[in-house]
Amino acid sequence: MKERIIMIGANGQIGSELATALRSRFGAENVITSDIREPHASREDEIFEIINVLDKSALKRLFEKYKPTQVYLLAAMLSATGEKYPQKAWDLNINGLLNVLDLALEFDIKKIFWPSSIAVFGPHSPKQNTDQYCVMDPVSIYGVSKLAGERLCEYYHHKYDLDIRSIRYPGIISWKTAPGGGTTDYAIDIFIEALKHGQYACFLSANTALPMLYMEDAVRGTIELMDAPSEQISIRSSYNLAGLSFTPAEIAEEIKKILPNFEMSYVDYDPRQAIADSWPASIDDSYARNDWSWEPKFDLASITEDMIANLKTNV
């Protein structure tokens, strides 16, 4: 069957790179990207539409116009910004998802992708090798909305047989598009500041270990999940997915191997520390490994090398 994909929230960190991968796979004419704002740059053969996912009538018109077989819903407010605007975060993250799920039924969409996050875990979840199924008591509105979203996805799958697939992304590290408003953003800011100014004042403490993933792995993993035969997908809430885990002190050491004069300092207080402290340090992703053969490729040394090589010519 010929696939036609609509991606909502395509201008963000993950969307912009995932859209490129999907276009080269399915053809530019079969991938329609959309966002609330125009993209910074786009090629002539790319199809783009302005859309607010909270405007269900406009979304319906978009579905009528393009008749998608797959929808990727990436529009979301992340953890740090969510704490500034909790009501807006809930509205966007939950009502946006509900709009897409309802229209997916109406338009008989074959597959949906929706991202969840490690933010669904909380202070009573195990800190190390956090299991797929464990106590989940998120403290951020972002985590609360993602956990509720996971329950909705599973509900729509069980009740309506909707083929919805999801990953609990850890912090995603990339150099092409900046992330917006997350707690794990330090792991990108650090590279930009190291190259621009030779120093970085980190908003998380030296020993705050968090799960992370390089963009190349994230894009490949997402496509692998979407490609897997439906009967292999045993998780219809959202899959744990691990790449690597490291602390700010460890990444600073790795950067110093390439930029020996780099200096790291730590700010006294930042509200993002409390969010990070409530999240796992590392993730057990055995369901993804067993169900659809997930395996990350990048480690801290290869990420650091690739980030510096690419940002050198871009910052």
Is 219 near ligand AKB (CB under 6 A)?
Answer: no
Using only the alpha carbons of the chain, give its radius of gyration. Answer: 19
51 Cβ contact partners less than 8 Å away, ≥ 6 residues apart: 8, 34, 35, 36, 58, 59, 62
- Cβ atoms of 31 and 23 within 8 Å: the answer is yes
- CA nearest neighbour of 147 among 158, 136, 163, 135: 136
Instruction: For the beta carbon of residue 290, count every other beta carbon within 10 angstroms.
Output: 11
d(CA 153, CA 165): 8
Is 130 near ligand AKB (CB under 6 A)?
Answer: no
Interface map 10-29 toward ligand AKB (x if CB under 6 A):
--------------------
Instruction: For the beta carbon of residue 264, count every other beta carbon within 10 angstroms.
Output: 19
Among 33, 79, 93, 240, binds ligand AKB (CB under 6 A): 79
Q: Take residue 183 and report the two structure tokens written for it.
A: 């707690």
Total residues contacting ligand AKB by CB under 6 A comes to 12
Is 183 near ligand AKB (CB under 6 A)?
Answer: yes
Interface map 83-122 toward ligand AKB (x if CB under 6 A):
----------------------------------xxx---
Instruction: Mark the segment that binds ligand AKB (CB under 6 A) among 45-53, 165-173, 290-298, 300-308.
Output: 165-173
Is 169 near ligand AKB (CB under 6 A)?
Answer: yes
Is 78 near ligand AKB (CB under 6 A)?
Answer: yes
- Minimum Å gap between C-beta 140 and ligand AKB is 8
148 burial type by CB count under 10 A (0-12 exposed, 13-18 middle, 19+ buried):
middle
- Minimum Å gap between C-beta 80 and ligand AKB is 6
For residue 142, indicate whether it is catalytic.
yes
Of 59 and 212, CB closest to ligand AKB: 212
Query: Virtual CA dihedral for 94, 282, 187, 120, nearest 10 degrees?
Result: 10
d(CA 112, CA 152): 13
Among 16, 184, 208, 238, binds ligand AKB (CB under 6 A): 184
Number of H helices, E strands in the chain: 12, 14
Query: Which of 142, 169, 186, 214 does the annotation list as catalytic?
Result: 142
Instruction: Mark the segment that binds ligand AKB (CB under 6 A) among 23-31, 149-157, 182-190, 289-297.
Output: 182-190
- Minimum Å gap between C-beta 183 and ligand AKB is 4
Give residues in contact with ligand AKB (CB under 6 A): 78-79, 117-119, 142, 169-171, 182-184
